[in-house]
Structure 1
Amino acid sequence: MTRMTPFSSPLLLGFDAMEKTLERVAKSGDGYPPYNIERLRGGENNSCERLRITLAVAGFSEADLEITTEDSQLVVRGRQVEEAERDFLHRGIAARQFQRVFLLADGMRVVGAELKNGLLAIDLDRPEPEKLVRKINISVRD
């Protein structure tokens, strides 16, 4: 039996990579670190959409965090290095690694990032795209 997906319509051409990306993002079910996504008001002449992703990364320093964009994905990685041998009486805070992936729509760009009080804020925007109309010439063959 063939699996039907929303992208299997004959009218959606060239969306195979997007479907695979959505499947990969859906499978990443780890809820760490928690995050918020908010829409920001204003911007450059109010002509662009602005978003902020805020991740709770308490215990991570700037050196422990890495933010990259890869194939229209925003990837945030955190790697804490285990400190030298310590004698814990109780250990409830573990040195933990994480990778959080956000799928970016076409035209979205990362404007900047700031780490403050254990919260990593990543600002994104999407400028209004230029309307591009292109006429396609029709060749006639007889």
Structure 2
Amino acid sequence: MRNFDMSPLYRATVGFDQIADLMDRVLTNDVSRDSYPPYNIEKTDEDAWRISVAVAGFTEDELSVELRDKALFVSAKKANEEERTYLHRGIATRAFERRFHLADHVRVSGAVHENGMLHIDLLREVPEALKPRRIEIAGKNDVEAKAIEA
């Protein structure tokens, strides 16, 4: 059992509660958790990513991609599985749900299903109000000149 004291984090920061939540989620993650289906996360640009999930055996109608509470949920469920007798079954088509937590201002820009892979494109769009901006610094002479003009 792991116990971490987060109080130093709270004493030195303001508004970073998400970091503590993220650390809690990562540290309490079950190690024996199923790794099905396999997936990749790749960085395609400075503010863009692609999640690729191996979904062999599923059709577009059996796949679902949802965005809820800053989390991306990818799930699949086979419509109606025919009763078959397999000599070897290496392609798993069991139902799954995979969750990806997204950072602020990251949105899903599209999803495509091709060649047994589900590709989900993500893009970070920071609002203008949150982008850095330069503040002009007025000198003493500028303030006096404006006062004389007025």
TM-score by length of 1: 0.71
Map of 1:39 onto structure 2? 43
Q: Cα 1:93–1:35, aligned 2, differ >3 Å: closer, same or farther?
A: closer
Can you give the 5+ residue segments of structure 1 that lack an aligned partner in the other structure? 42-47, 134-142
Largest Rg, 1 or 2: 2
Match of 1:30 among 27, 31, 34: 34
Residue identity opposite 1:75 in structure 2: F
Among candidates 57, 73, 76, match of residue 74 of structure 2: 76
Residues 7/100 of structure 1: CA separation in 2 closer, same or farther (3 Å cut): farther
Is 1:114–1:122's contact at 8 Å kept on the other side of the alignment?
A: yes
| Shift, 1:119, TM fit | 0.6
The structure showing larger relative contact order (alpha-carbon pairs under 8 Å, at least 6 residues apart) is: 1
When the two structures are aligned, how many residues end up with a matched partner?
A: 126
* Aligned residues of 2:56 and 2:93 also touching (Cα < 8 A): no
Higher helix share: 2
Matches within 5 A, 1:73-112: 73-112=71-110
Q: What one-letter code is carried by the residue in structure 1 that aligns with 2:64?
A: E
Once the two structures are aligned, what percentage of the paired residues are identical?
A: 44
5+ residue gaps, structure 2, are 133-150
The 2-side partners of 1:31 and 1:124 are apart by: 22
